[in-house]
Structure 1
Amino acid sequence: MKLFVSSLVFAGLVLMAGSGAAYADEPDVAAERQVTLDQTLEWTMQNQQGAVYRILISKPEGEVPYSGGYPVIYVLDGNAYFASLHEAKRAQEQFRQAIIVGIAYPGEAPHNFLRRSYDLSPPVAEEHNTPPQGGQDELLDFIEQSLMPAIAERFPVDANHQSLYGHSFGGMFAIYALFTRPELFNHIVAASPSLWWNNSYLLKHERDFSQQVEAGEVNAIHHSLSLVVADNDSLQNQQDASQLYQRLEDLSAYGLRSSFHKVEGEDHMSVPFVLESRVLKQLLGTRGG
């Protein structure tokens, strides 16, 4: 995969001691070229509505695990968060067998405001639909019906170890996925989720999910939700996430593991960039513990 950034590679002239001559294999001028992330792939896909996505793949390294397939982490806002997660994975040998799938948008912007506002949000009344919102089920359909099969065609995948990571609106979307399609992902990490959005619309889905788990209609065993906030997040963001964690604690009796963590010294936009190792440990170190 090639990132849309460039780097000046200053080879310079390496002088031989006492002679002033350059090594023959050293270029004598600076060369400019695109940076390439090793062990990555990229392709584009369209959803049923014709919207285009960049799919960024951090390839697994090493033998296929005993389960018969590699664990997979799907990352929302892949333009912003894929590269740092990929490099954190490769730098730590115990995580290299994982596949990381960045769900990204065309272009260079870290965050595509219009696309993510639609993809990661619930429908709203027409008078509030600026920017356009309401595409959360379209994105889940794309992930379930198109993207996951495409990954499974290319790599052996552990169907029982698939995770979703999102930040802000992405965290909100990841929790929506847990509540409405719990069979899709085993483990969720939601960083600074926007639980206040649209009059806390997720509360209804939370109640439905809890009732289904308690009634035995949803098997929560081997499922986990990790909630992370920054200590400089808004007070509402912090309280909403903490209270959600407290409410879901009762579902531990049915197998759902949940956790809450506050990161000191960070704010809403900085917190994802100090979470890479924590996310990998949560989702891979103890099978989503």
Structure 2
Amino acid sequence: MKRIVYGLMLLIVGCHCSSWAAANYPEVQELVIDSSVMGETRNLVVYLPAGYQNNEDRFPVLYLTDGDIQGPHTAGTVDYLAKFDQVPQMIVVGIVNPRQTRERDLTVTSADKQSAEQLENADRFLAFIEKDVIPLVKQQYRTLDYQALSGTSHGGQFAINALIKRPGLFNGVIAISPSLYWHNQQMLGLSEMALKNHQLQGRLFVSIANEEPAMTEPFQKFVDLTKRYPTDKLAVISQTFSNETHNTTVLQGQYYGLKHLFSGWAIPESPQTLADLQAIFEKRSKLLNTAMVIPEDRAAGYGQWLQYLNRQDDALALLNWNRITYPQSFNAHAALIRAYLHFKKTAEAKAALTDALRSIKGLSSEQKAQLEGLFS
């Protein structure tokens, strides 16, 4: 019994693993951008989802600091999670921060040195991302409105600063081991003011590793602030990776950070009814601000699972929906006919056959014979 159910789960999940084919690896592109904001040339490394060139789909975007270092493994994590439908496929844009400009790019200017006339340091780099990088990415690639930002160490400080200075620019933020000690913990004061005023929005994941008190103490103060000033507009999760160091924590941070940004995305590994699936895809649509429909193979897989469990009404409701939603699908029609026959509803099965013969354009004689053969 358990072996059969496990086989059905593999059938449902397996249809989403076809992207493991050799021709469907993520594609990497390098871009050079002459930035008017920065007054210099900067480099981007763009990781496109597997199969990007073979479809017309649009994708959410994850922007990443230290993109030349953190880009390859982060794109791999996105690709792996997406294969198992834990997160959507994404375009990952790695923004390169060279050693000689990294501190300048990613850290906030001291409060007593800030200029009202001209943006500096992290604020200027944030303006560069907003005014130069994001428009270029939108112009060059098929993107959705959803965009997230991830950074580590000084990049984590930068990510929290972006959340505060430009609320709403990013739907989700991942800040791994953020250097919140900077300038006498200046970010904590900025964070408290923004949290008090309920300015922050979206999803935020923050993490720390087994690190020195200079890192862990301001991190804990920041977490305490998010708990002291809760708001429905900002969903925060914090995590400590006690078995990792500052340099090794990024892999786990990205993994759990992405899962938090897309909490509720995954379909539970249990039988799902039409209503269950519609609720999940409604959440997905709201999160990405685009209409998302249950894929045909997903509906068919769960419909067959429900059929195996002899949940007649649930199985037929889902398979009927699939046939109506994908009227040109031979497989959707065939699955419904099989289900009717399984539940000994011969009249309904014959009516479904008539509907299939009438609905499917270009039905071959072989396919017609296959459908008719289901009754023998």
TM-score, with normalisation over the residues of structure 2? 0.56
Paired residue for 1:192, among 172, 177, 184?
177
Paired residue for 2:230, among 252, 257, 263?
252
Percent of aligned pairs with the same residue? 24
Paired residue for 2:93, among 80, 95, 101?
101
Point out the structure with max Rg over C-alpha.
Answer: 2
CA RMSD of aligned residues (A): 2.8
The answer as to whether partners of 2:192 and 2:225 remain within 8 angstroms in 1 is no
* One-letter identity of the residue aligned with 2:96: A
Q: Name the residue aligned to 1:74.
A: 63
Q: Could you report, residue by residue, the CA deviation over 1:207-257 in whole angstroms, capped at 9, with x for unpaired residues?
A: 3312431xxxx463xx121110112x1123222212211211244333211
- 2: CA distance, partners of 1:277 / 1:122: 27
Q: Which runs of 5+ in 2 are unaligned?
A: 1-24, 114-118, 266-286, 288-376
- 2: CA distance, partners of 1:206 / 1:196: 13
Q: Name the residue aligned to 1:143.
A: 129
Q: Could you report, residue by residue, the CA deviation over 1:187-222 in whole angstroms, capped at 9, with x for unpaired residues?
A: 111111111101111133213312431xxxx463xx
* One-letter identity of the residue aligned with 1:266: E
The answer as to whether partners of 1:242 and 1:260 remain within 8 angstroms in 2 is no
The answer as to whether partners of 1:61 and 1:96 remain within 8 angstroms in 2 is no
- 2: CA distance, partners of 1:79 / 1:99: 15
Q: Could you report, residue by residue, the CA deviation over 1:82-116 in whole angstroms, capped at 9, with x for unpaired residues?
A: 011112222341346211110014xxxxxx33211
Q: CA deviation at 1:183?
A: 1.8
SS of corresponding position for 1:278? helix
Q: CA deviation at 1:156?
A: 3.1
Paired residue for 1:45, among 18, 33, 39?
33
Paired residue for 1:209, among 183, 194, 214?
194
Structure 1 residue 89 corresponds to structure 2 residue 78: yes
TM-score, with normalisation over the residues of structure 1? 0.71
Report how many aligned residue pairs link the two structures: 230
Q: CA deviation at 1:282?
A: 2.5
Q: CA deviation at 1:38?
A: 4.4
Paired residue for 2:258, among 280, 284, 288?
280
Q: Which runs of 5+ in 1 are unaligned?
A: 1-36, 106-111, 128-132
Question: Structure 1 or 2: larger strand share?
Answer: 1
- 1: CA distance, partners of 2:230 / 2:240: 21
Q: Could you report, residue by residue, the CA deviation over 1:132-189 in whole angstroms, capped at 9, with x for unpaired residues?
A: x941121111111111111111233222x21111111100011011111112111111
- 1: CA distance, partners of 2:160 / 2:49: 26
Which of the pair has the greater relative contact order for Cα pairs under 8 Å at 6+ separation?
A: 1
Structure 1 residue 60 corresponds to structure 2 residue 54: no
The answer as to whether partners of 1:88 and 1:277 remain within 8 angstroms in 2 is yes
- 1: CA distance, partners of 2:182 / 2:130: 24
